[in-house]
Structure 1
Amino acid sequence: MNAGWLILQDIKGFTPLSERLAEKGTEGTEELTTFLNGFFTSAEERIGELGGRIIKLAGDAYFAVLPPDIKKKEIELAGKYLTELDILKSLGTESRFIGIKTGFEILEVPLTQGEVDVVPWGEGVERLMKLEDETERGVIVVEEPAEGKPFTGKDKKLPSIPPSHRPAVALFLNFLPGDKKEFLEIAGKISEKLPTVWLTKWIPYTKGIMGLFLFGFPHASGREMDQAVEVAHTLSGILPEGRWCIGISQGLVYSGVAGGKKFREYTFLGDAVNTAARLSCAGRGEILIPEENLNQIKANWNFEKKGEISLKGKKKPVRIYKLSGKKETGIQLILYPLVGRERELRFIEKAIREKKKIVLMGEPGLGKTRLLFEAGEMAKGNGYRVLLSFSSPNRIPFSLLRSLIESLPPGLSASYSGLIGFFEGKNPGMLLEDALRDFSSMLSGILPFALLIDDLQWADAVSLKFLEHLIKGFEIPVIASSRKENTEIPEKLGMEVMEISPFGRDETEKFSCGILGGKPSSSLVDYIMENTGGVPFFIEQVLLDMKERGMVEVKDEKWEIKEKKENLPDSVFSSILSRFDRFDRISKRILEYLSCMGNEVKREKIIHVLPSTWWKKLEALNREGFILKEEEIYFFKHALVRETIYHSLLHRRRKELHHRIASALEKHGYTPYEIAYHYELAGMRRKAEENYLSAYEEFLEKGLVDEAEEIKKKVKAKTLKDYMEAFYLFESGKYAEAEKIAKNVAKKARGRFKIKTHLLLAEIYDLWLRYDEMRKSLEMAEKLDKKGEFRLSLYNHLGIYYDNLGRHREALRYYRRTLELARRKKTPDIDVHYFNLGWIHFKEGRLKLAYRYFTNSLRTAGENRRTQGWCYLRLGQIYHVWKDYEKSERYLEEALRAFTETSFPYGKYLVHGALARIYMLRGMKEKAREHAFKADSLSLEIYGHHEPETFLILLFSGFIKDAAKFINQEKFPENFRGHLLPFLLLEQGKIECLKREK
């Protein structure tokens, strides 16, 4: 128990002030932040003079603690001073200052993401909050007996997120815990069940405790409202019945650091935050949302209208809704009864029963996707879990695999988030083989399942590799659809093919009857057959177009064509465009954007590209069946719709749309390959090639050589192709060839590209121990990098340079700067910077400190096998020095596996040498010899000469003849031969001969 003065001060009328300043836009929000920081700084200075400190911020309020020996009069004077600050008067606001001398506890309460918050607790805190609720303005100071220790407190760690204005969703949870134990239990459950959600802080409140959750920081997903409602739904199952309320609101939020000079917290300001806080106090056992925020979520959730309510501090009443449950969602493919296809259905039924792998092949529009749906229903009826995947027409790497993972139930798909991160470039060190092996292992845990694949003809190379493994390794039914444009894929996968044919006349008549709701006349059937060729999708589109335009009518209980036949569309493409042309301007623009983005587009991507005001139009397109939706994915009902709209665009318009899409994807951090694809179609060659280069480097580092080569083929600029070749040779350990090409590239390249080339040369010279040339390359890169874009990489390379020269103090300085910058920027390669600091301490002999940095590097390396290899190597060497040879051997073997998987010759060279020394010391001579020769082979590959240490290993392991033969080889370095020959002669007992020669 602590004792002392608890202080609470807040600003009266803060919500109206926020609304007033919000009218100025982001400028007003920044003005509000400056005002708050001035207020908190003045408060911190005055409280600090009395020996106290601020312990928590809550929007416009702060909690502070002062020592118990401060006199009541001094507290009153401080309160008077702080309620009459000039900064409060500058915006016409007033304040209340409540102080109470009491006993209290400071609880450490779990947040999410492993963070902890401090919360004042106890009866004294309850009285403080009650006084705050009863006081309009001015100073209230109450002194009562208090026993306990003075509170000392500790500094709070701030998240390294830059200040920004961005759309976000705020969720306030307001609940009344029965006691401290219940509060801590519930906070613990929230932390456990929602580990990835950002619960930013806990705030004491008059009627309980409030928790603030933020969605959209630090990275937007585009699904913030859905995520917030899903979290609220989860929280409702954790909280005590009837003692809670949740408010959710979306809007523009300012995020940044607030506070004084010493105590600072990350804070969030904006109308959305204020509204969510007020809503959380407006009910009991309810989840409340303003009407204006329903559009994004009403497709997935049910709501009940609660009416208009007045919220404290807001000028106008707010119309709110209460969450009542989740909707059942699903794809609406089945608009009409299935006609014919008895032969195909028997084929599918047999495949499911006998666990065969089959492909339904045919031209676009024949109903392959509809047959896949029927296959899924049959599989479910036979007790299978159905997994659905589809390929992208752009053949974007991993598209089929990604869709397969996303088709899993949420609980299962969450298990594969690391693999999705790998697809998105977030786990750069993760290897494809490891990722797919782990995924296969997890899939084996959900057997039996049936796999359905739509548009197999567009499958990318990586997905096909996995599919081949899946077909061979799992005894499951696999049913795919494919166009005829890529017939070698089913053959390669060993899948049985059934060709799908168009409808005959009878089937066309039955299908038309289902669409029209009545029997078509013979002349109408003839017309449909003539214009559609019996292709089901074409039939549907033509009849819908005719029906909507009033070009068919019922006569004598049959549907007939009206007289003006010249107005009928004469092909299915004109039918699609005819429907397209009747949409309003915004609907057309949405369809144009989507046609440029692909057949299937995730909602998140659409949010990032299209204005939010278009969402109602998009939903209308979905209702009309022009665009379909399955959970978070929007897609054209048929690829031909997309192709028709896309090809109807003028080239200039296509380029404009692709440019806008590429810019949006780049802004929101999508994969370089996808960004490059759109820049290329926009005709922006330089921007496309910049991103292709990033994708190329990313793929090579993951070991995806074939995929990297495919990217290289897309690049036309010779200089860039040469750089890619140099980078590939460098990654392959062919440093001499890489240097030759990179030097030529450096003469011709410009801008960012020139800087990257000099940094590549610096890495080559580092490995070759040519430090003067390394320094020159770094100086050139530093000179060119005027914007500081490559500062992190430069600091790191300068640290390596001074490290190589043995100037460890300068190296440490640059490595520390690199680590600090990496932490601030939250770069994914922070593990490398930990390693570099460990390496300096290792060389200085501070092995315990080095051990700590290496283990930190290993902990933060994630799936980065290259960094793991380096850490295992150095830890193995530390245990070597500590004479724990068994542990040393285990770490070195792990290092060798990591370097082998990442195709890193230099790393393997170092490990083989280290293992040779270990085995020599352990008396395992044959193994020592084996690894010594492997190190020598790699030395020849890298440096072009034999490894002198191999000679010593052979000699001291007793292989004297091998050592004699080895030292006399042509490529043995002459400068070493003269020094090492006496050791050989000594071992051979030729000391006298040596003396005579001297």
Structure 2
Amino acid sequence: MQCLVCGHPNPEAARFCMSCGAALVGGKICARCFMLLPLEARYCFHCGAFQGEPLRAGSAVASLQGMPAVAAAATAGVMTVAAASVTSALPSVRPLEALRGDLRRYLPAMLYEPLERRPKARDIAVVQEHLDALLTTVKTYLPRPVVLAPQPAGEPAGGMQQGVFLFGDVSGFTPLSERLKPLGQEGAERITDIINRLFSQLVGLLFAHGGTLLKFGGDALLGLFPAENGAELAAGVLRAAQAALEMQAVMEREEFASIDALGETRALKIKCGISAGPYFAAHIGTPPQPERGDFGSMAYVTTGHTVNLAEESEGHANPGEVALTAAAAALVAGQLRVAPVTKIPDPDFLRVLEVSGTLPEVASAALLPKPPEGEPLAQITYLVERLNRLTPYLSAELLNRIALNPRDARIAPDHRPVTVMFVNYVGISDLIEDMGESHPQLIVEQLNNYFVQMAQVVEKYEGALARMDQYAVGDRLVIFFGAPRAHEDDPVRAVYAALEMQAVTRERFSALQTPSGIYRFRQRIGINTGVLFAGNVGAPDLRQEYTLMGDDINMAARLMSYAEWGQIYLSNKTEERVRSFFELSDRFDLKVKGKELLIPTYVVLGRKGGVEVTRGLRGDEAPLVGREQALEQLQQAGQRFLGGRGQIVSLLGNSGLGKSRLLHEVRAWFAAQPAAAEVRWIEARPFSFSENINYWLGRELLRSVLDLAADAETNDVLFHLWEEGESLVGKERAREVVPFLAQLMNLPLEGAWAEEVKDLSPQVRQKETLWAAREFFTALARRTPLLLALDDLHWADEASLALIEALLAVTDQAPLLCYLAFRPVRDRRSWELRNTAARDFPHRYTEVTLQPLSREQSQTLLQALLPGAEFSETTLVEIFDKSAGNPFYLKEVTRSLIENGAVVQATAADEAAPRWQVTSRIEQITVPDSLHAAIVARIDRLTEDARQGLQMAAVLGREFRADLLRAITQAREEADLWLAQLERGGLLRPAETTQLPGYTFPDALVQEVAYDSILVQNRMQLHRRVGEALEELGADNSTQFHQLLAYHFGRSDDSVRAIKYLRLAAQEARDEYANETAIVDYQQLLEWQRRVQDVAGQAQARYAMGVLAYEIGDYDRAMPWLEEATMLFQQLGDENNVGWSIMYEGMVALKRGLYGEAAEYHRRALGLAQQRGDSFQEGIHLTNLARVTLRLGDYPLALEQFRASLALKQQNNDVTGQAFAWFYLGLTHVFRGEGDVAEAAFQKSLELWRQTPLCPPWGC
């Protein structure tokens, strides 16, 4: 039967096209599960849903009404002529006012804003074009079953289907990445480029043979060949086998089979596994909550033993092989040439050698028809309806990024710190096996319940549930914390989420009662942290995914596979970031696949009862510098509190300036005060993820007051709360106070207690809760002086801040001291708390504001952290630039220097305190991981265009001209908006040193992180644009200008201008005796000359570097450069420069006191000059040889050689050379005790020097 949509020939029994999925026979579609039913059916044979009264033959149009719009559009054209006419009509036009809520999600501000005024026709047309492009791009991120028949958000549906699965796993990336590791970020991007090119071809093959890509997982893919009956299933096996064999052929191409990896050849291989049979397919998700701006989320899941068997089959194949189940092979007996598997011999699996059966051609088809022509507003309605169905299958953050520029289907890739969580869960396959056919809705319900519960936990901690996919045992979730959006505490969020996910699984899924029996879901979790590539992979015009790649993802998967059921395993990199928050236990050292490396692992036991110091070094590891006055103010408030007066102290300061450290110090001070023996110190802090969780901080505060264990049972908490309340305010008052505090703590209330709280309006309930808290804490402070140390209040939720504001009044009634520490962010509710305290309680209020350390204070702290370490001035400037007066930053930079081996302990046996010594690894100071994540989190809060603007600014440098940014963005008005946003966020500030209007990065680390996040290829293009803009905007010939051009073109892809300006910059630096700068320029020049294979240029650059290193006394670097230059000049046959290079080798040897070697070098150079008849060089080499002879004390021979060299220089009219010769003649006569002769020689030398533009060392 030929498909009327794509023309593909299908088997006669087929009901859906095997190429495009369109329906081939008449009927009606079940609105719940999309089963094709006869026209007369009243109930769905598959899911049992009521279908309405039977339809007459030929009335297929009515059957489309209950079907999702996209599915209807995809199938209507093949049912009847009448049906086709219906789908050509656009849906009823919705008024613009009714569409605005949806349009706001899909349009950037500049397109949406005109719609709120009086939009013109061109505004409507631009919106229509944007939505059309957005729909086209959104489709490429989704598998075909979703595009053809998406479910409404929050309405799960599914059932048993059948099909063929193809699982492909590419090997070879780990050794390739190890080999390219020295290239750093560039190496990672090379691997990513290879992956993109490879998977674009593999996905193309999958589609070409009638399959669709379901999942992509870094170095693996899962394809599906849908089937409606046995014939289609057999055809699907043949198609999958042929696609897999052709994938093997792709891997044999030179671009994948012979990859140049720093001089060595590496190859990639793919192994494929195929299975066929029934599987469970479901659309599951969370319902929308429009009042919260939540439009729901959906996922398409394929699960069951058939799916698992595809991966198990792959496990039986060697790289370069295709394996399939024996059951799948039996479906196409005689049409496949197979052999036994050899990797793991097993009769249930076979190796595919060849497809011998005939395969019908597959015609390509669009996944979704274009909207029919019509009125623009009607088309907008059509596009919005389809986007509303499809976009819940994408993450909100991903949709936001796509919606900014949908015509560019690829998300701007970057490198970012990410915490990856893999969750392996089992139990659903058993349910499917037993009840998939008989109770599909029960399966959907349980799978959806599990997904919703897990998704809600992940969303609570602002992670991204990237996918649910197959695993060899059960299924798994892949979750990212840090992509697409980062937070400074992503590892902590991940572990909190993991603990909660395990708790929810135990509570809700440990004993599922079904008609078939009782089932249990179990899960195990692996978590790892690292810097990963984040971006698009696949074919942008066909099928792509936003994903993460890198070895750290594989590590998380391995940790999951080693974890025991119900446990959470962490890598050492995650453990370092979370040890202050959780109880952990060592497990074992895990060997990394393909590497000689052992990684320590840990198991999470639970939350810690109290919060330890979470930033920087502990108090006993680092001295308190530059905070003496602030500490004194905190102590003065403490003295007044100890005298019986309530106090409120706001401790303000940006991240890392020392707020937490000061609280630590003042607590130690209180411990030393005799009068403070009865003071009760209570501390609590929110987290960045708790900002939207009502009363999070309030609950933590009450738990601290009650001194509860982190894992205390709910009933125990309620009983302790009652006991404490009764003790403080008496039984009668406690009956009024405790219910509201219990409700605040999310404790279950029953009977009259519950009704008393529940029946109140929200406003009255809040007032009662705040009253109860005041009563409770007033009584508590009257019983024992109470000190509340509340840190990080900028992250506190609004309800908890209202509670703390209510407690401020207690300071007038009882000895209560509130230390309130937070960042001075004026648009946060914590700033309003500060204003209230200052305005309403000025008699109790003290404000302490922390500023960055001065250069002197930073130096004092650095010396205290690394006593004995002697840094160069250049290194000190770099350290202080990166730390920007921030003690935490400075401590973390110091820690990274120790961990990277840039400084090492050098303690003498008789010294008690460690001394530190700087090593050669100090050359490059990188951003510590602990700071990297915090900075990326700040950058991710920007809009996408402002984020890209920040990256462009980072390319310009620490300080830059605003006109340059406008020039490279080619968007003047937009650039000004970005600059305003960046300045408002504190990422940039106006520069004071540039002549033209400009900006500077106040925090050097922000510039570095923004710069490093740009892909190397994109970075090169931006540097080129900057260089071109500089040439156009203001070409002067100053040294600084050429240095700037050399800097940008030297980091671009323009070899001609890079070499030109690097050579100019190096020469100018050399002329100004900025020799180190010149050496750096020559090193960059050398790299370019290597790329363009300019051997003569390489020789000249090495020679110049050697000479410069000689002139600054760096003989260890000079000699190898000169030796390499000599070798290259010899290869080129450039005897003239060979002589000069050997001469400097001799001069280096002379400076090192190697007189014999020096004499040999100069004799070689002299001999070469004499062979060529080059009397000019001969005179110079003879002078240098005589200098060595002089050092050896052979004065007669030295005089003879100097006189011979003088004669040659006179012959060549070399005035400078003559001056040198006369000087050394005089020096030789001095050593011989011939003063008069020496004086005459010196006089002659002086006269000659005065004839040259040069001045002798002793002055003219």
> Which bin holds the TM-score, normalised by the shorter protein?
0.3 to 0.5
- TM-score, normalising length from structure 1? 0.42
Higher Cα Rg: structure 1 or 2? Answer: 2
What is the TM-score with the length of structure 2 in the denominator?
0.35
